[in-house]
Amino acid sequence: MKRKEPTPSEDPIYEASSSSTSLHVDEYQGGTETPKENECQVFLSFRGKDTGKGFTDYLYTSLVDAGVRVFREDNELRVGTQIGSELLCTIMQSKISIPIISKNYASSKWCLCELAQMLKCKRSKGQIVLPIFHKVEPSQLRHLTGRWREAVNAHNENSDEMVVKEWEGALKEVGSMLGWESDKIDNGHEGTLVKIVVRKVKSELKELFLLNVPAQLVGIDDHVESIMGNIDGEFNNTSLIGIYGMGGIGKTTLAKALYNKLSGHFEYHSFMADIRETSRRKGIECIQKQLIYDILRSQDEVSNVDEGIGVIKSQFTSKKILVLLDDVDDNTHLNALIGDGRWFKAGSIIIITTRDKRILDEARTIHMYQRNELPLDQSLMLFSRHAFGKDSPLSDYELISCDIVSTTGGLPLALVVIGSLLCGKTKEVWKETLNKLRNAPHRKVQEKLRISYDALDNDEQQIFLDIACFFIGSSKKTPTYMWDSCGFFPRKGIDTLSHMSLIKIDEDGNLMMHDQLRDLGREIVRLENQTKPQKRSRLWIQEAIDVLDSNKGTNKIEALRLDKYGLGRRYTGEQFKKMTNLRFLQVDGVDFIGDFQNFLPELRWLQWKGCPSNFTADNFHPKKLVVLDLSNSAISEDWGGWDPLKMATELKVLNLDECKFLKRTPDLSTFKRLEILHLVLCYNLEELHPSIGKLASLIELDLTDCVSITKLPESIWNLRNLRVLDISGTHITELPDAIGMLAKLQKLSAWVCKLEGVSSNICKLTSLEELSVGYCEKLQELPPSGLTYLPSSLTDLVIAWQGQSLPHLSQLTRLKKLWLFHCHRLECVPELPIGLSELNIARCGKLKALTNLSDLKHLQYFKIWESPSLEGSPDVSNFRRTQMIELGLKESRGFMGSLIFERSPRWFPRPED
């Protein structure tokens, strides 16, 4: 007999919780709010002999498949009778604990310790505890009858009486809690129980799965509720919901808010962002692969669209899913991803955003919703937030603000961009802008956006167009070298573009741009000459190939990008002869042949990934080159291209990542202006040429995962301007005393390497902000002489080691954040810097006091966990009365700019490979 899908009504104890979405306006930020990479969300406590290979294993696998990070440890494999502090900490850090109470659960001291810790966390920090009674009755625990009494009594023989009393109380407490009794759910069918538990866990973790919606939105809630009114509340029928409207109108923001509202009702969900652009660059099969992974949690290989369709049709039919397909501009995309909607289980919901209503008509969308412009009052509020930093205009700007807002037609993007443009400007600029807006036709959005573009000077415009055509999603650091060489003043330009909301810089320093602004930039380039691409300033992909193949290059062309579409092609110098102003060239897997004498005189950027091992071009001398990227190529130290490229004496960036045939770097002495050298994943690189010591301008050297390198050359200590040195993943064993000569070093990373010693001369690194030394198995202690003081430049400090004392801290006047982590032997902390704003102390079991805690007037975050002696100390108790202190209430957070000493403790999560 076919069993039905469990419904909320079958789960009378636990119902899916729903949280209202606090929303307010733009459409720039996307993506999923994901928890920290190694943070445990759910802790499973169970008796391995009873359920380890059955119910628990099924529950664990189902939770992991649903995207939940779960900790489980078979207590049958544990040694000793004392539960480890690491395990207790894992329970404390978890959001949810699930004790699976089976018939022999109470016979395990480890299980009882875990249960007691869970209930402590429930009482002290509100942790969610979801008990499952697996083929046992809760009343037996409440009264401790039968085998439960016998199990508790058995522990009295070799356990402390007070501890056994605590275990007894924990059993009684959990027996009185609401939980699931396995025999009473769907007549004992455990598959149904697992589905209910997974749904409950995901409901409780709902905020961790929500999409990122901007913090300030205007008028979204009413639109969400309007759409919700058209959806089957029982989720019995599949719904296709289409949201359409012009670019920048807020379609994606509305769709994400709706998605967040619905997500708690679905076990399977997926957000496919920017399908139009992603499919163009990577193909629709790439999006199919992401959808398959999101739903099935498996990396199915999809080599073509038809194969992807086959996987989705065959494996999604039993799954009720929530999918958001953002920015669809081609019906073939929908055909490849959702078909007619019948590929999924009834009750599924597919949300589609598009600029073209015809996409939704052809898809036979059940519910269509047009995202209209904001009404005048909401438009004025949104505009004011960006022009004045408040919800309404200044009194003497009220009339002109209303006039400007009325010309934007309620387009959120235009309101944000124009408001940002006018922020801080004079009344005359406001009036001039208003006149321009009145002359721009209401329906021509790009012309309105172009007002901001026209307000830029020439250098800023060039940077804007370069970003729109080539650098969206790229780090701002590398193209800055090219713009600087071209005299574009990039630091000022980037700052201007960012303040005018024409670009955004994400937290990783990458250049981001709204797709409407991207389209504006590319359209500006296209309009330079609509019929003759060779007379435009920038060409990419097919038009670039066409111009090269037909030998129609001109001096108008400044930038050319082929990407992987040039793979296997051969280009002669003659084809570049007329491109005398070419400054940017990006190719992949091509070969240059023939004579390049006096060609490419203005070239600043050459990204030539996958270049062949045989260099055949003659007179290839791009003398003004500042960025050279030869990553993922077959070149060696004897490659024929090195000698001609030595003419590039202005070179600033050299990227040789993944050049796996390199055994030794070439002579780099002619690159006297080089600032960045990357050699990441050069597995066979054994040696750095001594000439590296002559690179006086070098500021960044990255040797990550160069596993064949065992020693740094002596000449490297001559690099007095070096600021970043990364030897993570190498086999380098020592950082000698000469490390102290790198006076400008700001960041030194040595993760997962063979490091055995760190010289005490790191104290001489007066510019050091971040020192990361971790997962180095042979690094047993700090330098034998100890550290008496640390560089005063530190702002964030993390110490994790086994010493009995710490270096002096009071002189660290810039220190804002201090972590003391896993310092088991530490009894006393030196005087703390009074400017400290964040203090986190963890697993410092012997630490008894903080000498000047009351002086920390700027402390905003104070956390103590697994440090019982300190938690009960008088100074902490007094401080707690007047300041904010949290005893294990929040999760640990990592900080950049940190000083880290540790001994690779086994509980510490390793970085991702």
- Enumerate residues 6+ apart whose C-beta is below 8 A from 623: 601, 647, 648, 649, 650
- Cα-to-chain-centroid distance, residue 751: 20
Is 736 in contact with 760 (CB distance < 8 Å)?
no
Q: How far is CA 416 from the centre of its chain?
A: 25
Token pair of 276, please?
Answer: 């139009």
CA distance 488 to 349: 49
What single DSSP character describes residue 457?
-
The number of beta carbons lying within 10 Å of the beta carbon of residue 648 is 24
* Tokens describing residue 677: 């050298």
Q: For residues 546 and 538, what is the distance between their CA atoms, to the nearest angstrom?
A: 13
Structure tokens at 256: 């994400």
How far is the CA of 251 from the CAs of 261, 361, 381, 890, in angstroms?
15, 17, 19, 35
3-class SS at 682?
Answer: coil
> Phi and psi (nearest 5°) for 648?
-80, 70
Q: Which two tokens stand for residue 694?
A: 């002559």
Q: Could you tell me whether strands 591-593 and 676-678 are parallel, antiparallel, or unpaired per DSSP bridges?
A: unpaired
- SS3 letters across 233-259: CCCCCCEEEEEECCCCCCHHHHHHHHH
State the burial class of residue 65 (Cβ atoms within 10 Å of its Cβ: 0-12, 13-18, 19+). middle
Distance CA 381, CA 378 (A): 5
**How far is the C-alpha of 383 from the C-alpha of 676, rounded, in Å?**
42
Catalytic status, residue 5: no
- Which of 114, 168, 181, 204 is catalytic? The answer is 114
The answer to whether 342 and 367 are in contact (CB under 8 A) is no
Question: Is residue 69 within 8 Å of residue 96, measured between CB atoms?
Answer: no
Q: Give kind and range of the element (H or E) at residue 679.
A: none
Amino acid at 47: R
Number of C-beta neighbours around residue 828 at 10 A: 13
Q: Is the CB of residue 682 less than 8 Å from the CB of residue 662?
A: yes
Residue 458, judged by CB atoms within 10 A of its CB (0-12, 13-18, 19+), counts as: exposed
CA distance 490 to 461: 11
Q: What are phi and psi of 137, to 5 degrees?
A: -100, 130
- Rounded Cα distance, 44 and 513, in Å: 43
How is residue 87 written in tokens?
């395990």
Dihedral angle of Cα 695, 696, 697, 701, to the nearest 10 degrees: 50
Instruction: Find where tokens 């009220």 sit.
Output: 398
Q: Residue 675's Cα: distance from chain center in Å?
A: 27
Distance separating alpha carbons of residues 793 and 786, to the nearest angstrom: 19
Mapped onto helix, strand or coil, the DSSP state of residue 875 is helix
Q: In Å, how far from its chain's centre is CA 788?
A: 37
Is residue 224 a contact partner of residue 361, using CB atoms and an 8 Å limit?
no
Identify the DSSP state of 664. B
Strand partners, 771: 748, 899
Residue whose structure tokens are 């639109």: 223
Q: Using an 8 Å Cβ cutoff, are 242 and 275 in contact?
A: no
Active site residues: 114
